[in-house]
Structure 1
Amino acid sequence: MPVSHPDPAGNIGTLTTPGAALPADPHGRIRILSISRCFPYQDIDHGGGRYVAQLARAWEPFADVTWAVPDNVENQQALARPGRPEDVVLVGRSGSRSAASRALSFAAHQAQARVTLGGPTRPPLTMASRLLLAPALRAAVRDADVIDLQWLEYIRLHRLIRRLNPRARVVGTFHDSTAQAFTRYAESLPMPERARWQKHASDTARSEAVAAGAVDIGVVFSEKDRELVDPGGRHNVVVLPPAQQISGPVDRDPSAGPTCVFVGHFGRPENESGLRWLLEAVWPLVRSERTDAHLLLVGPGASAELSALVSSTPGVRFTGFVPDLGEVLGRAWVALSPLLRGGGVKFKTVESLLAGTPTVATTVGAEGIVPMESLTAVEDDAEGFSRAVLHVLSDPLRAARETAAHQDALQDSYGWPAFDRRVRSIYWP
């Protein structure tokens, strides 16, 4: 694995194998610069990271990729993880001795802090300042055939990117509708906090619409998100359903008994709130009918308070991160997606369906899934959700057969061949 090293000029936090130094490939490979919150590595454990890992795999046959990501603790630690790309730039505050460079970097850092305190949207001022001041990063932008901007905050760099490289194709990926997520969060708050978050949602909706029209190609994960990001369909926004680690039905082993599973990163607020609703409102109704039912919570990030709640709930336990999710889903009689807020396609819901595991979801958990009929049930109240779970537990083989009947349609939406074709059509200039 290449060893990261400081940029000799001190212009970028950490640099590995600068992409700007690579010669053009004589066999027609292209250069992509991806500006993102994170870069891919083996067993990355959050949905956005899983998506960029899928994208990196699809790019590999035809592109050389440089990743420009924030210089934070998570990305610093990820440099030591197996499976990470060779060409990674950690973008942080300037180490340059130039007084002007230090002054601009400090001003961007202070402005970023004020913006963050003022609201949830975060224009990437530090990244913008380094694009202007860091020669290696600026060269990577200049030499790229395609500039890939992941998440709304980096799509907002489009004007600066156009100025630095007017010939490159600019692709912006909206991982969900941030405006919709803010709207749903506002609904859970009392006044005056609700009004403040509704204002954030309105401002962000306008920002998303502007961003969708500013890039050459906007990418979303579902038709629902396309309608939210590009109302009226005026811009070149395409749907790219994400491929998944699990690419098809897994071997089913019902011998573990009536097992329910909820997979997610439990440090994320939407997963924590969904789990609390599941434990406090739904699970007691399930256990009142099936005292032999048990619930596995698969994923990292649980707080001490959430862990204590789980420990005090009969029939429930955390497993932590599991490297082989297929084995867990193969033993599960039913997968649950009990989310009450958030936005975007839920990758774990897709994976459970591809694995052939009957899946019960809320409306939020089911959003963007194609075909929607592949879900066993979509219920938003505790009684309806618990009845759907109990229905599966009463005849798990029948429920599994019904889920399996939708595999062809699921593969058309989320299979690797379809994903590879769509990625090439978007990124190949």
Structure 2
Amino acid sequence: MSPEPTPGSTSERTAWVLAKQLPASTDSGGRQRVRAVIDAYAASFDRVHVIGFDRWPGWRDVLPAHVTVHEVAAPGPTPGAVLRGSLFAGKWFSRRVHDLLATGVRGRDVVHVDFPQMAVNVPADVRVDVLDLHNVESDLVARRLRTERPLVGRLLAPEVARFRRFEFAAAARAGHVTACSRKDQEVLSAHGIDSTFVPNGVSAASGVPTVPPATRTALFVGAVDYGPNRAALRWFLDEVWPQVLTRVPSARFLAVGRGLSAVHPRPTGEPGGVEFHSDVAAVDPFYERADVCVVPLLSGGGTKIKLVEALSRGRAVVTTSLGLEGLEEHRDVLRVADGAAAFADALVELLQDPEQAAKLGSAAADVARSFSWESAMTPLRDLLSTIRR
């Protein structure tokens, strides 16, 4: 609970949370993290202002009365913002956001910036108290360009370098930096930047994990309007799944996520045994149909919430080394395989041995009980308590 100051008390504290996207939905890991951050601030401060892009219908029904949300329609990049922060940060500039901070923030207010790109909106005379790196974003951009659009990546290499300088300068100026993976902490430390580890969590499953059905069914869950997810799914369908079908002809594959109807409309020649389910109301029914979950990521950064969700549902998981990033200490409750042949081998082994898959899933569910967002945000709440004092 937030403190109860008397009217006009000098102990009353206000916080501003600047988010890239308002968490009206929780269909992505980024939005889930933003919502958890807002809840942490709401529990620590007397007044909280949340500023973010898009709309959040019904926020008054789900947030405490001392939290106010300022909805901003969309970024409005300017040449000055691009020159200051690179294309990758400048595209997130909004005069409306800048002005809300410039006119609203007072001397003792605490300012939280979610994603380093959003620092381009902060007026020069406003101090950022907490900068939350969902990833080291310049590394993430560089990876995506190398794996998804190599030619574009070479052309934009100078902008990536400018973005990296902007990101680390913003981190160096911030009072505190939070990171969601140990690897990102190591990168920050190499640049002389201390950080607090605030891991990602997982939204609670709607019930107790069910027993895998032993139907030789694999599942992918992810928003494919996010580049790394789109590339991962395409690679799995092109390179891995045909090898699986050769050895397990009865295998089924469920691909579930936002944007699938537009990106993967099941073209002629798609490998057999595949179902696409786009923009579903709930993912739990699909986890119940699956024996094994796949997280075949080739790019991206930070702790992969889709992997944590699969573990929490009591399902065996096959992932890449990059997909495991941030959860390395739990390697023994899943299968890690790099390269199409190795990934197919690991998946086939589990599909052909339902008992082994069920045991692995049960161990995963035990581990995942500590992955709640409330638990994950404990380091942030402790940090906010220190800042407030």
Instruction: State the TM-score, normalized to the length of structure 2.
Output: 0.83
- The answer to whether the 8 A contact 1:31-1:143 is kept is no
- The answer to whether the 8 A contact 1:247-1:355 is kept is yes
Give the CA deviation at 1:260. Answer: 0.8
2:21 — aligned with what?
38
Q: For residues 29 and 356 of structure 1, do their structure 2 counterparts lie closer, same or farther at Cα, with a shift above 3 Å needed? A: farther
Would you say 1:307 and 2:265 are equivalent positions?
yes
Q: Counterparts in 2 of 1:6-155, with a 5 A limit?
A: 30-41=13-24, 43-63=25-45, 64-70=47-53, 75-76=54-55, 78-79=56-57, 85=63, 87-91=68-72, 109-111=77-79, 119-122=87-90, 124-127=92-95, 131-132=98-99, 137-142=101-106, 145-155=109-119
| 1:380-422 CA-partner distances (Å, limit 9, x unpaired) | 211110111111112233233234335565444x234532422
SS in 2 for 1:188: helix
Q: Counterparts in 2 of 1:228-267, with a 5 A limit?
A: 228=187, 230-232=188-190, 234-246=192-204, 250-255=208-213, 257-267=215-225
Rounded to whole Å, the distance in 1 between the matches of 2:48 and 2:314 is: 34
Letter in 1 for 2:228: E
Q: For residues 392 and 150 of structure 1, do their structure 2 counterparts lie closer, same or farther at Cα, with a shift above 3 Å needed? A: same
Would you say 1:367 and 2:340 are equivalent positions?
no
Rounded to whole Å, the distance in 1 between the matches of 2:218 and 2:60 is: 31
Match of 1:348 among 306, 320, 333: 306
Rounded to whole Å, the distance in 1 between the matches of 2:82 and 2:379 is: 39
Give the CA deviation at 1:115. Answer: 5.9
For the aligned residue pairs, the C-alpha RMSD in angstroms reads: 3.5
Would you say 1:415 and 2:379 are equivalent positions?
no
- The answer to whether the 8 A contact 2:206-2:284 is kept is no
Q: For residues 175 and 370 of structure 1, do their structure 2 counterparts lie closer, same or farther at Cα, with a shift above 3 Å needed? A: same
Give the CA deviation at 1:310. Answer: 8.3
| 1:9-45 CA-partner distances (Å, limit 9, x unpaired) | xxxxxxxxxxxxx99687977422111112223x432
- The answer to whether the 8 A contact 1:33-1:140 is kept is no
- The answer to whether the 8 A contact 2:203-2:309 is kept is yes
Give the CA deviation at 1:375. Answer: 4.7
Return 5+ residue gaps in structure 1 as ranges: 1-21, 94-104
1:384 — aligned with what?
342
Rounded to whole Å, the distance in 1 between the matches of 2:271 and 2:37 is: 39
- The answer to whether the 8 A contact 2:212-2:315 is kept is no
Give the CA deviation at 1:276. Answer: 0.9
| 1:295-345 CA-partner distances (Å, limit 9, x unpaired) | 111111125452133884311112223444344323321111112122222
Rounded to whole Å, the distance in 2 between the matches of 1:138 and 1:113 is: 16
Q: How many residues align?
A: 378
1:198 — aligned with what?
157
- The answer to whether the 8 A contact 2:59-2:69 is kept is no
Q: For residues 113 and 214 of structure 1, do their structure 2 counterparts lie closer, same or farther at Cα, with a shift above 3 Å needed? A: closer
2:135 — aligned with what?
176
- The answer to whether the 8 A contact 2:220-2:256 is kept is yes
- The answer to whether the 8 A contact 1:172-1:218 is kept is yes
Of all paired residues, the percent bearing the same amino acid is 23
- The answer to whether the 8 A contact 1:212-1:237 is kept is no
Rounded to whole Å, the distance in 1 between the matches of 2:184 and 2:334 is: 23
- The answer to whether the 8 A contact 2:324-2:331 is kept is no
Letter in 2 for 1:126: S
Rounded to whole Å, the distance in 2 between the matches of 1:202 and 1:375 is: 38
Match of 2:226 among 248, 268, 281: 268
Match of 1:217 among 163, 176, 180: 176
Rounded to whole Å, the distance in 1 between the matches of 2:303 and 2:106 is: 33
1:325 — aligned with what?
283
1:99 — aligned with what?
none
Give the CA deviation at 1:353. Answer: 1.3
Instruction: State the TM-score, normalized to the length of structure 1.
Output: 0.76
- The answer to whether the 8 A contact 1:152-1:208 is kept is yes
Give the CA deviation at 1:240. Answer: 0.6
- The answer to whether the 8 A contact 2:87-2:163 is kept is no
- The answer to whether the 8 A contact 1:178-1:201 is kept is no
- The answer to whether the 8 A contact 1:247-1:416 is kept is no
Rounded to whole Å, the distance in 2 between the matches of 1:51 and 1:138 is: 26
- The answer to whether the 8 A contact 1:39-1:52 is kept is yes
Return 5+ residue gaps in structure 2 as ranges: none
